[in-house]
Every structure is written in C-alpha cells, then in structure tokens.
Amino acid sequence: MKRKKFFDTNWVKFTCIFVSLFFITAFAYSQVRVAVITGGHGYDKEPFEAMWASITEMKPTYFDYGVKKCEFFDKDHSDDFDTIVFYNFRQKITPKQQQNFLKMLEKGKKIIVMHHAISAFPEWDEFNKIIGAKYFLEDMEWEGKKYERSKYKHDVKIPVHVADKNHPITQGVEDFEEIDETYSGYYISPEVHVLLTTNCPENTPFLAWVNKYNNSEIFFVQLGHGPQIFANEQFRKLISNAIKWATEKNN
Ligand SMILES: [Zn+2]
C-alpha cells in the first residue's frame, strides 16, 4: 500500500513537472526571437507591448536606448534575433554600428520599421535608402530637390485600404479605419512595393510598403502612434503577418 501511495503522489507530481517543463521549453524554442528597439520618442508603452504580446509566435526583447544613441549595433546581432523591429527616433549610429547594421542586411535579414522610426537615424542617409523614405524634420534639400518640413497631425481617423491583397503581409487583412497620426510631405522612393494606401487628405497616399535593399527586404508601416491602432484587430493581423514574413525561411 505504501508503494502505491508513492506512485499516486510523488510520481504524479514529478511527471506533471517534467511534462510542463517539456512543453514550456518546446514553446519557447518554437517562438521567433524579435528585438524591438525603442527610445528617443515617447509612446504608450503598455498598449504597445500588449500588441507584441498578442503575437504568441514571437518572443520580444526590448532595447530602450533613450535619446541620441543606439548601442544595439555595437555588435552584429544576425544570429541572436530572427528579425528586428525599429520604433526608435532621432538616434545616432556610428560608422562601426552602421557596418554591423548593413552586415545583417547583407545576410538577408528582413526588418520591420514602424511609424516615427522613419527618422530612427536622421543623420544617416543610407537608412533612408534602406527604408525607401525620408521624413523631413526641417526644411532641407534631399537628392537635389528642396523640401519643406514634413507635417504630422495626431488623432485623425485614417481610412486604410489594402492595395496588394496577395502579399504575405496583407493576408486576411481587411480595409479598416482607425484613429492614429498622419504624416504628410515626406519622400517615398518610387521603387517601394506599396501594400497599404489611404485617401486621407492629411496623409501621403501610401501607408505601408516593402522595400528591397541589398539581399534584404524591409517592411515599413507609417501607422503606429497608438494606442488605438495597437489594439486594432486588422493592424495586429498585419503586424503578426509581418513577423511571420520576416522570420519564415525561404519566402
Ligand atoms: Zn507618433
């Protein structure tokens, strides 16, 4: 009888712990590793992180570098993360850090750049070539043409239209409307492959695209000020698809 009791209690406990650990470990290994770089600009942290947490296929690691610097690229992180999400603003990147960034793109790592990260590294012109866009933080000349300072407006209801329904990033995403920030008067390369458009008069017509650079591709989405858009079901679907697109092999 004593022996039976041992099996009824301890053995069951050990089995449960072992099985749980096995599944927890298996789940952790099945998640893709995503570095999320923030800093240099305020944002609604909780709803922002809730959006990433809603994508159970990924494990986000946050890197907040504050203002003006971005130590993330002190090393080549190609093997540490499956993709990188940029949500930083006005940071500086040294020539050595630029090399590490470019190395990652040479290896074909796809990246995701969201909202104010259009100006993640405003003093590094190559970054604009990478994302296929430039937001003018002041009146300036860009590629031989004069531009006025770009404009933004908060709390605008923006109609969002899926322009390419066949791309992996837009699968299952329907047209929607959501309150977010508009950007206008910024440069977009004619080479980009447009995924989302808008007829909002206060915004440029393009809201999201894919740009090819070196061996890599970059997904840029202008939406993402938050917090409404972070909770929007269609936007979450788009972002979740973008993570899959960026991290799946052979696509
Ligand atoms: Zn914003």
Ligand 1 mean position to 111 CA, how many Å?
20
Q: What pLDDT, on the 0 to 100 scale, is given for residue 2? A: 56
Asked if 195 and 159 count as a contact pair (C-beta separation under 8 A), the reply is no
Helix pair angle (233-247, 45-53), 10° resolution:
60
Sign (positive or negative) of CA dihedral 218, 223, 226, 229: negative
If one compares 18 and 175, the residue with the highest pLDDT of the two is: 175
Ligand 1 mean position to 130 CA, how many Å?
21
What pairing do the DSSP bridges indicate for beta strands 68-69 and 32-39?
unpaired
* pLDDT single digits (tens) 161-210: 999 999 999 999 999 999 999 999 999 999 999 999 999 999 999 999 99
Ligand 1 mean position to 187 CA, how many Å?
17
Ligand 1 mean position to 41 CA, how many Å?
8
Q: Where are the beta strands (DSSP E) in 151-192?
A: 151-162, 176-184, 187-188
Q: Which residues contact 177 (CB under 8 A, 6 or more apart)?
A: 157, 158, 159, 160
pTM: 0.89
Ligand 1 mean position to 180 CA, how many Å?
8
Q: Is the pLDDT of residue 25 over 70?
A: no
Ligand 1 mean position to 102 CA, how many Å?
26
* pLDDT single digits (tens) 74-100: 999 999 999 999 999 999 999 999 999
Ligand 1 mean position to 44 CA, how many Å?
10
Asked if 231 and 48 count as a contact pair (C-beta separation under 8 A), the reply is no
Phi then psi dihedrals of residue 164, to 5 deg: -125, 100
Ligand 1 mean position to 112 CA, how many Å?
16
Residue 20, H or E segment: helix 12-30
